[in-house]
Amino acid sequence: MSTTSTPLRPARALASEDGEARWFLGSLATVKLTGADTEGQFSLVEMVGAKGDMPPLHVHHTDDETFLLIEGELSFYVGGQVLRGEPGSMLFAPRGIPHAYRVESETARWRVISSPPAFPEFLLEASVPAKTRTLPSEPPTITPDQLTEIASRYGIEVLGPPGSIPS
């Protein structure tokens, strides 16, 4: 005899184009799972960026991030190390360690798992809805001060301007 329990949250199946598409800085971000979807365990966001795309050097004080590279090449700057990622690569960026990435190929596509799920909530507030599922022709207007203030609400500390390579 087996017993079946009702899941606390529903199972989900998402196609590649499913999720909330947002223009975040110069990237296209698609929020696949939020903390609400996983009872606060983790989140999943898919990112697409063009060559040279690089967020500011920053540190997450409350969440770990795992990057899974699907297409293209990225350089990761994590805690003083420079690591290269190619399709199939994985990088773990623990909380409390400054990090950034830079797209090295013409374009790249990767997924970010955040645990606990602070990243998508920050992303949703610091981005705009994507009009199309393409890279933005012009990055959304957000000042460095606005980005820093929004990030701080989600335990993220911005340490440098976008595009600067950490020393």
Range of the domain at 48: 20-158
Does some domain include residue 83?
yes
Burial pattern 40-56, b for ≥16 Cβ within 10 A else e, equals eebbbbbbbbbeebbbb
Are residues 58 and 161 in contact, defined by beta-carbon separation less than 8 angstroms? no
The CATH number covering residue 53 comes to 2.60.120.10
Does some domain include residue 30?
yes
For 15-52, write each residue's pLDDT tens digit.
888 999 999 999 999 999 999 999 999 999 999 999 99
Does some domain include residue 62?
yes
Cβ-in-10-Å burial (0-12, 13-18, 19+) of 103 comes to buried
- Give how many domains the chain has, as a whole number: 1
Does some domain include residue 34?
yes
Does some domain include residue 7?
no
Three-class DSSP category at 151: helix
Full-model pTM = 0.89
Are residues 126 and 90 in contact, defined by beta-carbon separation less than 8 angstroms? no
Does some domain include residue 95?
yes
